[in-house]
Amino acid sequence: MTQDMTQPVRVLVWNEHRHERKNPKVDELYPDGIHGAVASALREGGCDVRTATLDDDEHGLTEEALAWAQVVVWWGHLAHEEVKDEIVDRVVKRVYDGMGFVPLHSAHMAKPFRRLMGTGCMLKWREANDKERLWIVAPHHPIVTGLHEFVEIEREEMYGEFFDVPAPEELVFVSWFSGGEVFRSGCTWTRGKGKIFYFRPGHETYPTYHLPDVRRVLVNAAKWAAPSGVERFVQGNAKPLESI
C-alpha cells in the first residue's frame, strides 16, 4: 500500500459527530461537522478525502473503507467507549500494515490511540479560553512546512503536562498556555509500518479547524503519514541464510 507520490493521498476523516448534534454552539461553528471542516482542509490541500462517523454502519470503518484509506484522521470525545473493540482491532491492524493515523485533540483517549501507545494517555485540561501558542521545535519537519515559528490560537481548551504517552519519536510542537502550562502538542510515533501524528488543537467549542495554520498542519500531516517503507516484514520460523 505504499504511496504513489503522483496520486493524491487518500484520507478517511473519522468523527464521532455527537457534540455537533447536541450543542447548538458547536453546530454553528461546524455546520458540516468537525469531520466536514477537517475534510475541507484536506481537500484544499490536494488530498482525496472521505468521511465516516460513529453512527455509520460499522462506524464507517468497514474493511473496504480501511482498505481504501491511506491515512485515518480521528476526532472523538464523548463516546470513546462506544467504539466497538473489533473495529478498533481493525484500525490498529491497518496501522501496523502502514496506514497513517492522525488522532486530533480529545482523541488522546480514543481506543485505537491508547492501544497503539501502551500508556494511559491522560493529561491535564481546562476549558477556560486560554490562549495557546504552538512553538515549532523540529524546524526541519515536513509537518511544519510553510509555517512560521509558531501557530497561535486565540482561545482554546488547555491541555497540560504530564501527557502520559511514550516519549515521542519526534517532538514537533510544544504549546504554551496563558494559564501557565505547557504541552507536547505535536508528536510522532511509528508502530509496525504505520506512522502516527498526534495533534492537540481542536476543542469543539472553538473555530480551530477553520484557522489557516491549523489546516496547513492537517494537510502536511496527512501527506507525511501516508504509507512508505518495505512492502511487508517477515516473521516466524526462519531457515538460516548462512551455514551455522
Which stretch in 10-18, 68-76, 207-215, 231-239 sits in contact with a copy of itself by CB under 8 A?
231-239
**Distance of closest approach, residue 217 Cβ to a copy of itself, in angstroms:** 12
User: Peptide bond preceding 162: is omega within 30 degrees of 0, i.e. cis?
Assistant: yes
Q: Is 204 helix (H, G, I), strand (E, B) or coil?
A: coil
Between strands 124-136 and 170-177, the pairing is: antiparallel
Check residue 126 for interaction with a copy of itself (CB under 8 A). Answer: yes
**Distance of closest approach, residue 205 Cβ to a copy of itself, in angstroms:** 16
Touching a copy of itself, residues 127-146 (CB under 8 A) = 128-131, 133, 135-142, 144-146
At residue 170, φ and ψ (nearest 5 deg) are: -135, 130
Check residue 48 for interaction with a copy of itself (CB under 8 A). Answer: no
Among 118, 154, 210, 212, binds a copy of itself (CB under 8 A): 118
Among 27, 36, 109, 125, binds a copy of itself (CB under 8 A): 125
Closer residue to a copy of itself (CB): 84 or 115: 115
Report the C-alpha gap between 180 and 230 in whole angstroms: 44
Between strands 71-75 and 100-103, the pairing is: parallel
Report the C-alpha gap between 169 and 56 in whole angstroms: 34
